[in-house]
Amino acid sequence: MLETKDLTIRFGGHVAVNAVSCAFAPGTLTAIVGPNGAGKTTYFNLISGQLKATSGTVSLDGRLLSGLSPSARTHAGLGRAFQLTNLFPNLTVLENVRLAVQATREGAHRRGLNLWSIWSDHKALSTRADEILTQVKLKAREHDTVASLPHGDQRKLEVALLIALEPKVFMFDEPTAGMNAAEAPVILDLVRELKKDKTKTILLVEHKMDVVRELADRIIVLHNGTLVADGEPAEVIASPVVQEAYLGVAKEAA
Ligand SMILES: Nc1ncnc2c1ncn2[C@@H]1O[C@H](COP(=O)(O)OP(=O)(O)O)[C@@H](O)[C@H]1O
Ligand SMILES: [Mg+2]
């Protein structure tokens, strides 16, 4: 169980995330919605440790993560999609995924040097990397360098690396942003696949309400950094607070 308690961050006088208390159970997909600037990405950054909270706590399975570095939180089981800046742009897609699988397995087992295990590990690493590339539909690109990939394939690779980490918690922040109509369903299918594993907790920031309605078990709404609604998708989408928040976005855009 991932839990935030009174999680808060201030930027100068602005409270971007305001005392958010929420728990996310394994086997559930929670969509986080709210207008631009509501604090959704900042909430993720506080959970993953990219930003330091002004006050409040983050815990996973009862273990306090507050104060830990982002990489220590990753080891604890929090999976945040890699930014492309974390990749090796001149290595191939396959090499990047293999490295991610390797880092995860080494972290998990901390096994000693043993030639037989190194050999069998290499096979196991390659097999696992291959499975993941098939899963995210990047097999055809495995020998291309990351730098040469089109945008949509880079996003798929980000998901591949997230899967390679084998986290307990998957955090997706607008995973289909900037993708075309043909590419977006591939990512959403992946999220749908991940959802079948009832030991995983999934958090998804997504603007498209049809996507949210279909995928989410639960929706929470952030508005001006505050948690203003939490419940079943149909109920939350129909609530005045969501209707207003999205009407607000429409007004701003007009
Ligand atoms: N590093 C930062 N420094 C100052 N203000 C920030 C920083 N990061 C986010 N903010 C502010 O916090 C608020 C929430 O932003 P964000 O979490 O990106 O919103 P969302 O992801 O919901 O669109 C915005 O007002 C934004 O300008
Ligand atoms: Mg955002």
Q: pLDDT by residue (tens digit) across 91-100?
A: 999 999 998 8
Residue 210 pLDDT:
86
Are 181 and 253 members of one domain? yes
Least confident of 73-77, 178-182, 190-194, 235-239: 178-182
Are 106 and 68 members of one domain? no
Are 41 and 55 members of one domain? yes
Indicate the number of domains in the chain.
Answer: 2
Ligand 2 centroid–CA 203 distance in Å is 13
Are 122 and 242 members of one domain? no
In a domain, 2, yes or no: yes
Are 153 and 108 members of one domain? yes
Nearest CA to ligand 1 atom 3: 11
In a domain, 17, yes or no: yes
| Domain end among 166, 196, 212 | 166
Classify the C-alpha dihedral 152-176-131-96 as positive or negative: positive
Are 36 and 100 members of one domain? no
Residue 221 Cβ < 6 Å to ligand 1: no
Residue 52 Cβ < 6 Å to ligand 1: no
Tell me what the pLDDT averaged over the chain comes to. Answer: 88
Q: pLDDT by residue (tens digit) across 104-136?
A: 877 666 545 455 555 557 788 889 999 999 999
Residue 177 pLDDT:
85
Instruction: Determine the atom of ligand 1 nearest the C-alpha atom of 225.
Output: 14
- For the purposes of burial, counting CB atoms within 10 Å of the CB of 136, is it exposed (0-12), middle (13-18) or buried (19 or more)? buried
What does the pLDDT average to over 165-173?
Answer: 94
CA–CA dist 106, 200 (Å, integer): 21
Are 7 and 66 members of one domain? yes
CA–CA dist 134, 163 (Å, integer): 12
CA–CA dist 35, 242 (Å, integer): 9
Are 116 and 236 members of one domain? no
Are 161 and 181 members of one domain? no
Instruction: Determine the atom of ligand 1 nearest the C-alpha atom of 36.
Output: 23
Are 6 and 132 members of one domain? no
In a domain, 82, yes or no: no
In a domain, 3, yes or no: yes
Are 49 and 175 members of one domain? yes
Nearest CA to ligand 1 atom 6: 11
Ligand 2 centroid–CA 78 distance in Å is 18
Are 95 and 61 members of one domain? no
| Domain end among 117, 148, 166 | 166
Q: pLDDT by residue (tens digit) across 201-215?
A: 999 999 888 889 999
Residue 33 Cβ < 6 Å to ligand 1: no
- The pLDDT of residue 90 is above 70: yes
**Phi, psi angles (nearest 5°) of residue 220:** -115, 145
Residue 177 Cβ < 6 Å to ligand 1: no
| Domain end among 132, 150, 166 | 166
Residue 11 Cβ < 6 Å to ligand 1: yes
Look up residue 197 and give its two tokens: 């594993």
Q: Note down the domain range covering 30.
A: 1-77+167-254
